[in-house]
Copies of this chain bind each other. A is one copy, B any other.
Amino acid sequence: MDVDAAVFDVFGTLTDWRSSVSRELAGVGGRAGLRADWPAVTDSWRRGYHPALGRILSGEMPWIPLDDLHRLVLDEVLTAHRLDRLGEAERDELVRAWHRLRPWPDAPVGLEMLHRTRVVTASLSNGGVGLLARLTKQAGLRFDCILSAELARSYKPDPRIYRTAAELLAVEPRRLLMVACHPDDLEAAARAGLRTAYVPRPLEWGPDADPVGPPDGVDLVADDIVALAHALGASGADRPLTSGSRVSQVH
């Protein structure tokens, strides 16, 4: 596939938010003497995030940074799970858990391979610029550029996010590839004129979650970021991380 730049979703597509945030919740909760089904609390937190986003996208609520949005939903979730005892400092620490997510194992290798090609890579996440700079530095996710929905003061899947990314990178939308494991993100990118690549993350919501598939009309399906890097012209891998990693050019 011939593109000039590729932008990547981060929460889910490149990082395992569920196990990362669960672990931090278990740590903070445990130190406070609390017991809970921490992966279930994490899932509630992530599920609550989508309607909160929706209120901003509909104009019902003004734009606020993702950290503030995470805090708003966390407060509701802790009440719902009878974990109100957690104090201010602990809640702030938990919000920052989203700055420290661990990558899926193929993501650092695949992004490093892509860095060595002529394709310019960037994040395109609902996380803020500062959050993304810290997260990618710590997780070893190498990008040529950090882009965030914050730069258009909105959130994905607002079409302005994808158009702003193309404008800032100074590339035609059809020469820009959006990479994500979420069909709604890819569908919105395609409507904005971008090309799209679907990378499945069957463990995003844990081992018992319902399977997700690529959206209709996706341009490329790649097993992981290493397979994607090969599809975009990268050669070699630092180490044989994925066995039988495959890619299918759909369009």
Q: Which of A164-188 contact B (CB under 8 A)?
A: 168-171
Q: Is the interface of A mostly helix, strand, loop or mixed?
A: helix
Number of copies: 2
Cβ contacts under 8 Å, A137 to chain B: 115, 120, 144
A122 at interface, CB cutoff 8 A: yes
A133 at interface, CB cutoff 8 A: yes
Cβ contacts under 8 Å, A168 to chain B: 128-130, 150
A24-B45 Cα distance, complex, nearest whole Å: 54
A151 at interface, CB cutoff 8 A: yes
A246 at interface, CB cutoff 8 A: no
Cβ contacts under 8 Å, A128 to chain B: 168, 170
* Proximity bits, A125-152, B CB within 8 Å = 1, else 0: 0001111111011000000111100110
> Is there contact, CB below 8 Å, between B170 and A145?
no
Which A residues have a C-beta under 8 Å from some C-beta of B? 65, 67, 115, 120, 122, 128-134, 136-137, 144-147, 150-151, 168-171
